[in-house]
Structure formats: C-alpha cells, structure tokens
C-alpha cells in the first residue's frame, strides 16, 4: 500500500509540473540511453576519471593563487584548466570509439615525437629553467609527453608480435627505441626519462621477455645510475653554471639536499633556506592539514609553495582535505591500477592487454612518484599528478591513456559481451540450438564419409 502511495505521489508531482507520466519516463530513458551511447566502456574507469576531474577543478581553483596575483584575474587559471579537461573528455570520447588495432600506428606518432624532441633545444621555450616546451598558436607543446604514450604503445605492439622465433630481434628493437627516446628526454628531463624507461621495462617483464635479457638490462641500468651519481659528486661546479651541463646543477642540488637533510641539526632542520624551500613548505602544508584538513580554499601554503598547482599539489590536497583526502586520492590511483589489471586479464588479444597495462602503469606510477616527492620520500622530480595537476599537453595525454584503456575494454572485452548478449536475446532457444548442432554434426560426418548416406528424415526435421 505504501509503494502504491509513493507511486501515486510521484505521478501527481509529474502531473502538477505539467509533464505527463509517459513523457517523463521516456525522457529519463532517453537520457540514460544517451549516456550509455556516449560514455562507453568500463564504468569504474569512468568513475575514477570523473572523481579525479572534480578534485582537480577544486584544488586548481584554490592552488593557483600565485598566478591570480600576477594576472589579476581570478577566473583565468581555472577556466584554462577546465578548458583542457573538457578537451580531454573529447579526446577520451574519440579514442575509446576507435578499435584498439588501429593504435599500432603509434609507432608513426613516435617518429613525430622523436623529431620534436630533436627540435626542442633549437626552437623550444624555457619555462622554470627547463627547455622542454615548444610554442604553438599561443599554447605550449611538451614533446616528452607525446613521446611517452607513443613509446609505450610501440613497445606494447612489439611485445604482442613475439612468436618465439623473432624474440631476439624484437628485444633489440625495443631496447634501442627505449635508449634513444629516453636518452634524448634525459638531457633536460631526467625524471621523465627514468619513469618512461621503468614503465617500458615493467611492460617487457609482463610481456614474457626472457628473464636473462631483462636481468642484463637491469644490471646495465644500475651501473649507469651509479656512474651518474658519482659524476654528479665529482664534476666541478663551474662546469654546470652554464652551457649544456647546466641542468646537472639542478640534480646536484636535489641529491645533496635529499641525502644530507637527515644529518642536519635540529636548528638547521627547521630553518628554511633556498635549498630546502620547496620541501619545507610541503611539510608545513601536510602538518597543517591534520586528519580532516582546513577545507578547500583555506590553504595558506599555496601562497608560499612553488608549483603548488603542479608538482606539489598533493601537499595542498592534504592541507585542504586532510589525511583522509590524501588517502582517497591515493586509493583512486590504486583502484585505477587494479581495474586496469582486471581488464587486461580478461582481454584475449595480447596487444590490448599490454596497452592497458602500459597505460595504467604510466598513470599510477607517475602519481605515486608525485606523492612520494610531496611527503619527501624521494628527491624532487618535477612530475605532475596525473589529471589533477595544472597542465596543457600533459592533461590531454593523460586523458588519452584513459581512452586507450576504455577502447581495449570495449573492443577487447565489451564487444564479445555485446555479441553474446545479442545472441541470447535474438537467437534460438537452447533446445533448438542443440538440435541444429546435432544436425550439423551429422551432415559433416556424411560429407567426410561418402559411403554413408544422409538421413533425409533428419534433414527435413
């Protein structure tokens, strides 16, 4: 009786609003159908994406106070970021409607990214002391972001073509591409180069590359890192003051600050200097947050922390949303990684399987690195928090990763589910299918054995 009354109340409300019952139901149904037609693929991936976008809009609006001071326009930074997020949604909608097999053409995108990386030192624009941006029609393009997604896709494609006989050739191609692309990126962006090489290496491990080959690569990488650290410790400072080695000065300072901060006295530890300015204010922001935070818009460290809207936005998130908010953001990337693994496990084809794993590894590991920097677990790297940090090219490329995941889910798994569902709805029932299968087997047997005659009574049935 109570349900009937509720239904009558709902009908009365529709009648009073001037909307007929059937029309209201049809409107709700059409909206639901439109959403299912536009936003296809795994719903959990879409949910994680939407939540990250909401957090990004709130935190970027709060964390860009220093930009507002310079421009004297409080709406410009958030409108710019919202524009890129909307463009990113368009990128996802475009990519997730493209069958995954077409993404093998990422190798041609890699060629274009290689050319852009070569041209960046010549025509690039320096931002925050880094020559890694190319101006284009009022915007700046970051070729390293394009190289990341294209190299990952190329490695996934080459891994899918292994057949036991060409493994050695493909392995040399993969290592060669990784060394060349990451080597060029490392000249001005070492952290991105290490991140990209590490993700591709993990992808090769997942792709069943022989362990001995991977072990040799790991040994060579460890030797290279040790030599690089030793070089930073012995190279004269005057060599890094200008010229092509100027970027090494940044890494010298970062490694020195990170390795010596535990040896400082209590007075030196709590003294803010030019060397520990970023890390010190990040710690202050985290300490201010507590368990529940000071709530969005009430951050104080956003006015002092350099790159509060990019490299150190996780510290601002903890300050405004507290420890619980920081854990929530961390869990979103963990869910993304787990869900990507589930999609990859269900995907039958190798190429989309590796494409999903490469995309989720790239997003989640970059997020973990950004968070580790904010809480001072590793040296400062300059890696943004995917989808949350303010960015242009990085935001669009991050959305492209989501598009690749959704495409693989749709055409690697979802298409099979849709076909099975269509057969279930429109096909013959179980008994009729069994009769047809029996009849097919009898006909095939009669064709294979000419001396046996087909039972025409069965055929007529």
Q: Each residue of 368-381: pLDDT tens digit?
A: 999 999 888 888 88
- pLDDT reported for residue 150: 95
Rounded Cα distance between 262 and 269, Å, is 8
- Nearest 5°: phi and psi at 60? -65, -40
Rounded Cα distance between 41 and 92, Å, is 11
Contact 96, 406 (CB under 8 A): yes
How confident is the model over 32-50, as a mean pLDDT?
82
How confident is the model over 131-159, as a mean pLDDT?
86
Contact 381, 369 (CB under 8 A): yes
How confident is the model over 103-116, as a mean pLDDT?
92
Q: Could you give the angle at the alpha carbon of 167 between the alpha carbons of 165 and 169, nearest 5°?
A: 100
- pLDDT reported for residue 358: 95
**Which of the four pLDDT bands, split at 50, 70 and 90, describes residue 113?**
very high
- pLDDT reported for residue 458: 40
Rounded Cα distance between 426 and 277, Å, is 67
**DSSP characters for 23-78?**
HHHHHHHHHHHHHHHHS-S-HHHHHHHHHHHHHHHHHHHHHTHHHHHHHT-SSHHH
Most confident of 46-50, 236-240, 291-295: 46-50
- pLDDT reported for residue 7: 47
- pLDDT reported for residue 430: 44
**Which of the four pLDDT bands, split at 50, 70 and 90, describes residue 1?**
very low
- pLDDT reported for residue 70: 77
**Which of the four pLDDT bands, split at 50, 70 and 90, describes residue 32?**
low
Residue 422 above 50 pLDDT?
no
- pLDDT reported for residue 17: 47
- pLDDT reported for residue 69: 77
For 306-338, how does the pLDDT look when each residue is reduced to its tens digit (9 = 90+)?
888 888 999 999 999 999 999 999 999 999 999
- pLDDT reported for residue 220: 92
> Which uninterrupted H or E stretch holds 127?
strand 125-127
- pLDDT reported for residue 41: 84
Total-model pTM: 0.80
What percent of the chain is predicted at pLDDT more than 70?
Answer: 75
- pLDDT reported for residue 437: 46
- Higher pLDDT, residue 81 or 380: 81
| Region of poorest pLDDT, from 212-221, 227-236, 240-249, 345-354 | 240-249
- pLDDT reported for residue 305: 86
Domain boundaries, given as residue ranges, for the chain: 41-209+264-427
**DSSP characters for 136-190?**
ETTEEE-HHHHHHHHHHHHHHHHHHT--SSSHHHHHHHHHHHHHHHHHHHHTT-H
- pLDDT reported for residue 109: 93
- Higher pLDDT, residue 270 or 406: 406
- pLDDT reported for residue 331: 96
- pLDDT reported for residue 453: 45
To the nearest whole number, what is the mean pLDDT of the chain? 80
Contacts of 310 (CB under 8 A, 6+ apart): 384, 389, 390, 391
In what side-by-side order are the strands of the sheet with 130-136? 125-127, 130-136, 139-141
Residue 442 above 70 pLDDT?
no
**Which of the four pLDDT bands, split at 50, 70 and 90, describes residue 23?**
low
| Region of poorest pLDDT, from 58-72, 139-153, 438-452 | 438-452
- Higher pLDDT, residue 107 or 73: 107
- pLDDT reported for residue 194: 92
């Amino acid at each position: 009786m109570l349900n009937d009354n509720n239904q009558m109340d709902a009908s009365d409300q529709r009648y009073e609003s001037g909307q007929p019952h059937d029309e209201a139901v049809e409107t709700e149904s059409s909206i639901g159908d439109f959403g299912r037609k536009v936003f296809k693929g795994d719903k959990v991936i879409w949910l994680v994406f939407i939540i990250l976008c909401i957090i990004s809009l709130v935190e970027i609006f709060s964390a860009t106070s220093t930009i507002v001071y310079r421009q004297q326009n409080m709406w410009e930074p958030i409108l710019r970021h919202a524009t890129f997020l909307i463009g990113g949604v368009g990128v996802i909608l475009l990519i997730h409607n493209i069958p995954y097999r077409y993404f093998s053409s990422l190798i041609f995108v890699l060629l274009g990214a290689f050319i852009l990386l070569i041209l960046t030192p010549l025509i690039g624009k320096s931002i925050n002391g880094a020559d890694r941006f190319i101006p284009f029609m009022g915007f700046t393009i970051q070729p390293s972001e394009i190289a990341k997604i294209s190299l990952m896709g190329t490695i996934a494609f080459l891994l899918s073509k292994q057949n036991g006989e060409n493994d050695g050739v493909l392995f040399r191609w993969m290592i060669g591409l990784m060394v060349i692309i990451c080597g060029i990126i490392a000249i001005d962006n070492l952290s991105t180069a290490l991140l990209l090489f590490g993700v591709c290496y993990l992808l090769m491990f997942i792709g069943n590359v022989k362990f001995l080959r991977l072990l040799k690569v790991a040994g060579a990488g460890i030797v290279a890192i040790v030599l690089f650290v030793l070089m930073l410790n012995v190279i004269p400072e005057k060599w890094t003051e200008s010229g092509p080695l100027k970027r090494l000065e940044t890494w010298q300072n970062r490694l020195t600050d990170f390795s010596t901060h535990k040896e400082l006295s209590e007075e030196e530890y709590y003294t803010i200097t030019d060397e520990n300015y970023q890390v010190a204010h990040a710690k202050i922001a985290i300490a201010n947050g507590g368990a529940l935070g000071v709530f969005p818009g009430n951050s104080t460290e956003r006015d002092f922390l350099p790159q509060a809207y990019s490299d150190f936005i996780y510290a601002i998130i903890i300050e405004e949303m507290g420890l619980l908010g920081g854990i929530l953001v961390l869990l979103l990337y963990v869910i993304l990684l787990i869900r990507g693994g589930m999609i990859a496990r269900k995907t039958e084809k190798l190429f989309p399987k590796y494409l999903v794993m490469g995309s989720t590894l790239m997003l989640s590991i970059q997020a973990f690195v950004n968070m580790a920097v904010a809480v001072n677990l590793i040296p400062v790297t300059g890696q943004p928090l995917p989808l949350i940090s303010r960015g242009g090219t990085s935001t669009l490329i991050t959305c492209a990763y989501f598009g690749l995941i959704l495409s693989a889910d749709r055409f690697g798994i979802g298409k099979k589910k849709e076909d099975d569902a269509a057969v279930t709805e429109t096909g013959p029932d179980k008994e009729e299918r069994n009769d047809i299968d029996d009849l097919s087997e009898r006909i095939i047997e009669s064709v294979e054995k000419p001396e046996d005659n087909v039972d025409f009574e069965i055929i007529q049935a």
